[in-house]
Structure formats: C-alpha cells, structure tokens
Amino acid sequence: MKKIPVSDLRLGMYVQEICGSWMDHPFWKNSFKLDSLDDLHTLKSSVREVWIDTRKGLDVAADATVLTMEEAATQAQEVLEASEAANETAILIPLHEEVALAEILKGRAKTAVMSMFSDVRMGHALHADMAYPIVEEIHQSISRNTDALVSLVRLKNKDDYTYLHSVAVCALMIALGKRLGLDGETLRHVGMAGLLHDVGKMLVPEHILNKPGRLTDEEFEIVKSHPKLGHEVLLRSHGLSEATLDVCLHHHERMDGGGYPDRLAGENLSLYARMGAVCDVYDAITSERCYKKGWEPATAIHKMAEWQRGHFDLRIFHAFVKTVGIYPVGTLVRLKSGRLGYVVEQGKQSLTAPVVKVIFSEQANAHILPELVDLSEAQDAVLSSEDPQQWGLAPLF
C-alpha cells in the first residue's frame, strides 16, 4: 500500500482508496483497477492523493513521492495530537437524559426539514420561518449536552439521509461555533446555515442523487450544481443571513482552491464556509448511503486528519476534533485490558482518554457486567476503534 499524489497515477495501477470526501469525486467504489483515461483524468481533476495497492497493479517510479501506511498514520496522529488536550465543556444534563429529549427533537426536526425541502422540490418557495424554532431547539440541546443529538442524528439510514444530514450539520455547526467562541445570533445563523446548506439537492434529479454506481461526468456536474441551485433558492427567501447564504454556496470549497463551485481558496473563504466544509464532510462520511457504508466516527476523524492538508482550515479542524473528540461519543473502542466498550463522555484532560462504558470481554468473547471506566484515572488505554457489527454488538443508542 502506497499513498501517492495523483500526478503520479498511471493506467494499470490499482486504486485502493481515494483520499477525500465522497462528494469530491464521482467514484462510489473506492477500489478499482485504473484502466480508463477518462477515470484517470477525473481523478487528477478532483482529488490530491490516492492509495494504490502494488500487489494488484503497477507500482510507481523509483523517484516518485510515496507515503507508507505507517508514515501516513504518524502524520495523521500528529494532526490529532495538536487537538489532544481537552477543553472543559459544560454538561448540564447527563447523556442518557438528553438522549431521550434529543430523540423527540430529531423526529420533529426531520419532519420540518422534509416539509421545507418538499416544497422546494415541487417548485414552491422555501418557508424558512419553519426552520427558526428547530434551530433554537437544536441550540438548546447542544447547550445542555453536546454529544446526545450529534450522536443520535449520525444514526440514519439511506432513506432519510438527506433530511437528517441537514439536522446533523446544523447541530455540528452550533457545537463547533460554540467551541470557536461564537454566541448569540451568530450561533443561530451558523445553525440555520447547517440546516439549509443542502437545499439545492432538492433540485437534483433523485435518480442521479441516489445512483448506486459510478456517476458519468455529466451526472457529476449536475450533482456539483447543487450549491448554486440552493443559493438561488435561499436568495428568494426573506430574512436569511449572509452566513446562511455563504455556507450554502461554498461548503464544497477547499482551502487549496480545488473545490466547487467557485474554486475559492485560503482567505477568500469565510469562517462560516470553512466550518461548513468540515461539518458536512464528517457527517457525510459517517452516514450510510445507497452506495456506501458509513465509516465509524473515530475512523472518519482519523481519515480527515490524514487528508486535511489542502482540504480544511487546520485551526477549524482542530476545533472540530475538540468538539466531537478523537473517539466521538458512541465509538466502540478496544482497550489494552482486552475489554470493549462505548465512549460515553470525552475525557477532561485528554481526548485520548475518554470515559468508556465497558460491556464485552475479548478474551471470554462474551458480554460482561457493564462498568464505567474513566481512562484518565485508570490503568488502561484505548488500543483501537472497532466496528460494532464485527463483534455482533448493538450500537450504543
């Protein structure tokens, strides 16, 4: 396995993984033999780096720039360690109590988004007034306990993805905004931006939006039109902030200018657009889609750290990691002691030492009496994040 810049790609190589968000490119299958000039051109024009498997295809030239899996993991870990020291976050309500409230809010928010977006799909005006109470409720939930709603809305199936993705990005934007010191109306504006950022997808034909295979170049261009389409919808709606309009139009831009629709870069991207880019990608790659199974939260954070250079604003990404954690709430982790458990709270001193609800023994291959373990105070540590399905375990919620 070698990580190489796309400039070194050539026909006959086996692409094992594309480094970037699934909305950066039209390939819904990450692994394939590169045998098409069109595919080669598309990769070179949409992403910076890929992983290749030299056992299944051609190798790179001897003088090419190459990163091994170990080197890439070390670099990603260095990025995450810059965010490792946890900041104190006020938790007014315990997780299990807020989850019950958040479950009700999740249903109401989904219904409101479906109603607003359905109007847009049918050619009617967006009734943004329906969104304000939902954004305020999400803001209150995040203020009581950041993790409950953020963790709940990640658990969505491919059928309700479009609507709950909007709810999730709203929650993430508010939580990230609080971490960055935003407050008052500004915080509500970024929440509204998250809720409405993908409204343009309602004007993209569903058979393209939910296509389970590779998109044609023409279909991919249609998908990439959704920020501008959404921006036009929001311009016709009264009372929306510049932040909301900006995030809708520019949440797919990248710091290196390789995004869309305007190929903005660096300082030309607003704080809100940079926030939107991180929140949108995180929820997208942790969600089940019709063409791809979502990554576990901890895997997603590590992947984003691996290819954040050029993609995200590093300061914003560090703040985001502090917001959701290196091992986000709901992540199944394997401990050095051979036990498995779910992260239920971020550690007070370090994001690598969360509070874990231990439920399973690897050695006995059996459930054990649940126990809360604060890794900052225990002689134990996280070895790895795990996929609950591979252990036959139910999700935390």
Q: What is the tens place of the pLDDT at every residue in 347-385?
A: 888 888 999 999 999 999 999 999 999 998 999 999 999
Rounded to the nearest integer, the mean pLDDT of the chain is 90
β-sheet bridge partners, residue 14? 33
β-sheet bridge partners, residue 5? 49
In three-state secondary structure terms, 225 is coil
**Percent share of the chain, pLDDT over 90:** 60
Which band of pLDDT confidence, cut at 50, 70 and 90, is reported for residue 138? very high
* Sheet with 2-5: strands ordered across: 2-5, 49-52, 14-19, 32-33
- Rounded to 5 degrees, what are φ and ψ at 118? -65, -35
Query: Which tokens belong to 307?
Result: 């290819």
Higher pLDDT, 343 or 87: 343
Residue 289 pLDDT exceeds 80: no
CA-wise closest residue to 244 among 204, 200, 283, 191: 191
β-sheet bridge partners, residue 345? 355
Q: How far apart are CA 39 and CA 77, in angstroms?
A: 31
Query: What's the whole-model pTM score?
Result: 0.90
Contact of 164 with 152, CB cutoff 8 Å = no
Please report the pLDDT score of residue 291 as a whole number. 65
CA-wise closest residue to 27 among 13, 41, 7, 12: 41
**Which runs of consecutive H residues, i.e. helices, occur in the chain?**
37-46, 69-81, 95-121, 131-144, 146-154, 161-179, 184-196, 206-209, 217-223, 226-235, 242-250, 271-285, 297-306, 314-324
DSSP state of 268: G
* CA-angle at 109, arms to 106 and 115, nearest 5°: 140
Which residues are CB-contacts of 281 (< 8 A; sequence separation ≥ 6)? 21, 23, 304, 311, 312
Crossing angle, helix 146-154 and helix 161-179, to 10 degrees?
150
pLDDT tens by residue, 218-254: 999 999 999 999 999 999 988 899 999 999 999 999 9
